[in-house]
Structure formats: structure tokens, C-alpha cells
Amino acid sequence: MLKKFLSYYKPHTKLFVLDMIASLFISLIGLTYPVVTRVMLDSFINRDDGFKRIIIAGSFILFLYIVRTFLRYFVQYYGHLIGTRMQAKMRSDMFTHLQKLPFSYYDNTETGDLISRISNDLFDVVELAHHGPENLIISSLTVIGSFIYLATINIYLTLIIFACVPFLIFVSAVLRQRMKEAFKERRITTAGINSATESSITGIRVTKAFSGSKKEMEKFEENNNLFVRACHKSYKAMAQFHSSSTFITDVFNVIIIVAGGLFLYAGKINVADYSTFIVSVNIFINPVTQLIGFMEQYQNGVSGFSRFLEIMNEEPEKENENAKPVKNVKGEIEFKNVTFTYGTEDGEVLRNISFKVKEGEKFALVGHSGGGKTTICHLIPNFYKVNDGEVLLDGVNVNDITFNSLRNNIGIVQQDVFLFSGTIRDNIMYGKLNATEEEMIEAAKRANIHEFVKTLEKGYDTEIGERGVRLSGGQKQRISIARVFLKNPKVLILDEATSALDNTTEILIQNALDELCKGRTTIVVAHRLSTIRSADTIAVIDGGKVTQKGTHEELLKEEGTYKDLYSLQLR
């Protein structure tokens, strides 16, 4: 983990080194005060030119403090700059990695948890990245420097202080472990409340429609109370840590005052050295306290970085080593003895299923919910790996085709349309990012959405809100169809594309889909059988198997699931 963390410093090595050098000089300047104090008390007071020397010494210290002010500015500004750039790089790495993770990862991960990791956790990481090395270097050097200087004043008093340090370290280590566990628990609950809040806000319209505000508040309060309890636990551990550490450092001062006083009483130390020692011991204790504070900062940062690595260590989608781009795609799809399950604890969704879709054919999948129709649609673009068997495109196993090449040749229109926040233009152009204005408008016309866009004041530059909230279901669907028109794939997958629409809107959508299907191999999933009567082949999927296959007319002539479903819908 340390090696990975340090790798983020590499692009900023020069600036980091300058930052550390500045920190070194800040530490050294901090040690001049007790040195000058001792010299003034010991040598300047009873000299004829003492006044002059005191003024010179004071001016010298003032000059050093001015220099330290500029050094602190450098450390604060450029240190934060390094931290910000590191945070941006980590966030970029995480987001890039998230783009590469398979569908199966998102099936078991909540969005709110990911948002928490990419924002809150990385903030703590960057605080450690910026302040950690500075605090560690400044405090460590100050501790070492002040210890050496104290030893030159009185070695015995210095050893007394040094003997107390292991006890401070021991207490800090015990309390730090408790704090580590408490902070980790708080991060988990923070991610939980973020996830619950994100889900509740996203579904606010459903909440209002079902008068579910009370229920949502109960769920939120439950998560919020868990968060509060986790915070109580973490703050309690932190309070124990700091109060105990402060008490120990206070005891240090008492020991030095008493022991130094006894040494002074016994004549083993003079007043100047005693006064300097009292001043200097705080310069020794303060960085020790800062180092203890660094442990808390370190714990927060390491906890956040470990959660960052949890995502970065997730296995991304992997192409076969021999995977190649596919050229001149015809669109022939074939399933050969495919068996598939979503997880080891789940049952088989598809069981030794086989069928073939010819080039340019319209192939419909029907059957009861949960039969495996949508799963078939997910396997064609290789969103999931089959457990057994093969999925072929033009006779080539989809595992032997690069992801981009395969998916660039497949267009998907689903019932649950996802539109990005932005404009209508942005969402249509997603189908082909380098498309011309004319190509985009042509795609919109073919999807029967152009006339509607013309009625809008800002036309294609109209903002549609989060997930297209300002549009109707039919308008969103037609924009998604325009997006696929622009993509112009050889294989088209329509997964319940018209099931949630009213009759008038469905006619508009169906006309657009009929236009979209021309010249393409089309896989249609439908519960409304009236929409797939014209399909070249209809396959009934039941229990993960193909139980019937034929045209609409052929399937109506035989007893089976298709005839039962059709009869049921006619009632």
C-alpha cells in the first residue's frame, strides 16, 4: 500500500523536495529562539554593550521569523497544490477504473458508497498526502534538534524527559488502534447514509406519488442514527486519544519544573540554563504532540486510501489476449449450449440454451418474467461471461472480439431509458460523438423526435434535467432511439422498448423502431405480443431454455406457453 501511495508523489518530486527543504528550514528556525534566549541570559545581561547585543539578537530572530513566514507560505500553498493534484489523479484513476469494471460489480455495489469513496475518502487521503510529510519532517527534526540542544544544557534532565517518551508512545499506540477501528466504522456508515440518501432523492417522485415521505424519513433516520452512533464512537476514541496525550505532556512539564527546581536548589544548574530548559522543553514537547496528532491524520488517510485501493484492486473486465476487432459485421448471432448464472449462490438463469439468429432477421424473445430473456440480451455484448458454451457473432466467439469493436456494432434500446444530465443534443450525440449537425438531425427525424425539439425555445440545446426528468417517457424513449440511429449498429437489441407507453405514444415509438430495424439483425424482448407478430422467428424462453420456436402463426397452431400468453392478452 505504501508503494502505491508514494507513486502519486512521483510526478511532483521536484516541488515535493522543495517543500520538504522549506519544512527543514522552518524546523531549524524554530530552534533558534531558545538558543538566543540562553545566550542573552548568560552573556548579554551584565555586559557594557549588552543593550546593543540584545537589539542585534532580537533583530536577528525577527529576520529569521520573516524568512519563516515566507517559507510557511510556500509550504502551505505549494503543499496544498501537490495534495490537490494528487487527489485529482487518484480521482481520475478511480473513475477510469470504475469504467472498466464489469456489470457484476455494479450489481452488488451501491452508488452512494462509490460517491463517498471518490469524494469524502479521497479528501482525507489528500490531507495526509499534503500535511503528513510536512508534519512528520518538521516535528521529527524539531524533536531531534531540541533533544540535542537540551542535552547540551543538562544531560540528566534531558534523560528524564526521554525516559517518559516510551510511555507516551505506548499509550498512543493503544488508543490509536481503537481510533482506527472507530474511524473505519464511521466511514462505512457514512457510505451507507450517502447511498440511502442518493436512492431516496432519485426516487423522490415515487415517494410523493405514494405519499411515502414518512417511510423515507424513517429509513433516513435509521441510517442517520447509525451514523451518529458511529461518530460518537469515533469521537470518543479521538477524545480519549487527545486528552490522554495532553495529560502526559502536562506531566512532562511538571516533572521538568520539579526536577529542574531540585537541580537549581542543589546548584547543579544555573538560572540561565534552568530558564532556557523550561522554554526549550516546550519546543520538544509540542512537536511530540504534533506527531501524536499526525497519528490521527495518518489513520484517517490510511483508512481512506485502503477503501480507495479496495476499488482499485477490483478485477476489471478483461479481454482475451487474442481478442481482435471485428470487421464487416453481418449481424449473425448464435448461442451454442450456453449455461449462465449470476453468482455461485444463484441458480442457473440459462440452461444449455441454443439458437441462431440469421443476418438481418427479426428475432423475438417472449415468455414469463424471470425466464432469462434480458440475460440473453446482456450476453450478446459480452456484459457477462457465460459459465459454459459460446455466444457467437458472425461465427466468432464474442470473447475473441475486443469490447469496443463488439459493442460499437450493437445498439440497445431499453424500457428504462437512461439519459444524462445535459441537453438533448448531448444525449443524441452520445451515439456518435463526432457526428455532424446534419447527421444528428437526420437521426432525430427518423426517431420522430425532431418536430418536438423544434417547438422548444432552445431546440437541441434544451437542458433536460437529471435523467431527463423534464421530458415525458415517450420523448425520452425517442431520444434514446435517435441515439441508436446515430450509432448505426449492425445488431439491434430492443428490451421491452415500448411496454411502458400509452397507445398513442407506442405507435410513434413503434414506427421509429420499425424504421430502426431495417437492414439490421434485431433481437426483440416483449411482453406485449402484438408488437412482435411480424417477427421472422419467435422463441419462447421458459426456465432458462427455449421451449418453443417458430413464427407467430406457427406457434398459435400448437399448444404451449405462447398460445396461452396470446390468449391471455386477448381477454
The pLDDT tens digits of the residues spanning 513-543 come to: 777 888 899 999 887 787 788 889 999 998 8
**Is 512 exposed, middle or buried, given 0-12, 13-18 or 19+ CB atoms closer than 10 A?**
buried
Q: Look up the domain containing 356 and give its range.
A: 333-570
Whether 194 has a pLDDT exceeding 80, the answer reads no
The CA distance from 534 to 54, in Å, is: 102
Chosen domain end from 312, 342, 368: 312
Q: How confident is the model at residue 510 (pLDDT cuts 50, 70, 90)?
A: confident
DSSP structure string for 487-508: H--SEEEEESTTTTS-HHHHHH
- Do the domain assignments include residue 326? no
- Strands 537-542 and 521-525, how do they pair? unpaired
Is the domain of 227 the same as that of 134?
yes
> What is the spatial distance between Cα 227 and Cα 189, in angstroms, rounded to a whole number?
5
Q: How far apart are CA 385 and CA 331, in angstroms?
A: 20
| pTM of the predicted structure, to 2 decimals | 0.72
Q: Are residues 284 and 407 in the same domain?
A: no
pLDDT for position 346 = 67
Q: Which residues contact 298 (CB under 8 A, 6 or more apart)?
A: 128, 132
Predicted local confidence at residue 199, as pLDDT = 66
Q: Quickly tell me which residue has 431454455 as its cell.
A: 545
Q: Tell me what pLDDT residue 523 has.
A: 92
Are both 251 and 373 inside the same structural domain? no
Q: Quick check: 355 pLDDT over 90?
A: yes
CA distance 358 to 350: 21
> Is 319 part of any domain?
no
pLDDT score at 362: 92
Query: For residue 212, what pLDDT is reported?
Result: 66
**Do residues 467 and 541 share a domain?**
yes
Give the mean model confidence (pLDDT) for residues 545-558. Answer: 89
Q: What are phi and psi of 538, to 5 degrees?
A: -120, 130
> Residue 521's pLDDT is what?
92
Answer yes or no: is 323 within a domain.
no
Give the percent of the chain with pLDDT over 70. Answer: 92
In a domain, 317, yes or no: no
Separation CA 381–CA 253 (nearest Å): 70
Q: Say if residue 149 is in the same domain as residue 63.
A: yes
Domain termination residue (choose one: 312, 345, 363): 312
Residues 199, 346 share a domain? no
Q: Please report, as a single letter, which amino acid is at residue 415.
A: Q
Look at residue 412 and give its three-state secondary structure.
strand
For the residues 156-160, what does the mean pLDDT come to? 85
Domain of 29: which CATH number? 1.20.1560.10
Same domain, 277 and 243: yes
Mean pLDDT over 164-168 rounds to 77
Q: How confident is the model at residue 379 (pLDDT cuts 50, 70, 90)?
A: very high
Which span out of 200-214, 267-281, 340-354, 488-502 was modeled with the highest average pLDDT? 340-354
**What mean pLDDT, rounded, does the chain reach?**
83
Q: Is residue 338 part of a domain?
A: yes
Q: Which CATH number characterizes residue 384's domain? A: 3.40.50.300
Between residues 188 and 206, the one the model is more confident about: 188
At 230 the pLDDT is 82
d(CA 459, CA 423): 9
Mark whether 338 and 308 lie in a shared domain: no
Q: Is residue 510 part of a domain?
A: yes
Angle, helices 32-39/122-153, rounded to nearest 10 degrees: 20
Same domain, 308 and 353: no
Whether residue 372 sits in one domain with residue 231: no
* Cβ–Cβ < 8 Å for 530, 506: no
Domain count, the chain: 2
Segment 345-374 shows an average pLDDT of 88
Per the CB < 8 A criterion, the answer to whether 367 and 540 are in contact is yes
Close Cβ partners of 78 (under 8 Å, ≥ 6 residues apart): 15, 18, 19
Lowest-confidence segment of 233-237, 288-292, 336-340, 380-384 by average pLDDT: 288-292
**Cβ count within 10 A of residue 316:** 14
Task: Give the residue from 282, 312, 342 where a domain finishes.
Answer: 312
Under 8 Å between Cβ of 386 and 338: yes
Q: Between the ranges 182-196, 218-232, 461-475, where is the mean pLDDT highest?
A: 461-475
374 shares a domain with 307 = no
**Helical (H) or strand (E) element with 525:** strand 521-525
Same domain, 236 and 359: no
CA dist list (Å): 516 to 406, 480, 498, 519, 530: 19, 12, 14, 8, 18
Nearest to 79 by CA among 138, 24, 18, 140: 18
pLDDT at residue 411 greater than cutoff 80: yes
Per the CB < 8 A criterion, the answer to whether 103 and 378 are in contact is yes
Measured N-to-C along each axis, helices 271-312 and 50-100 cross at an angle, to the nearest 10 degrees, of 10
Is 438 inside any structural domain?
Answer: yes
Residue predicted with more confidence, 85 or 275: 85
Residue 320 lies in a domain: no
Mutual angle of helices 122-153 and 13-30, in 10-degree steps: 40
Q: What is the dihedral of CA 408, 381, 489, 396, to 10 degrees?
A: 90
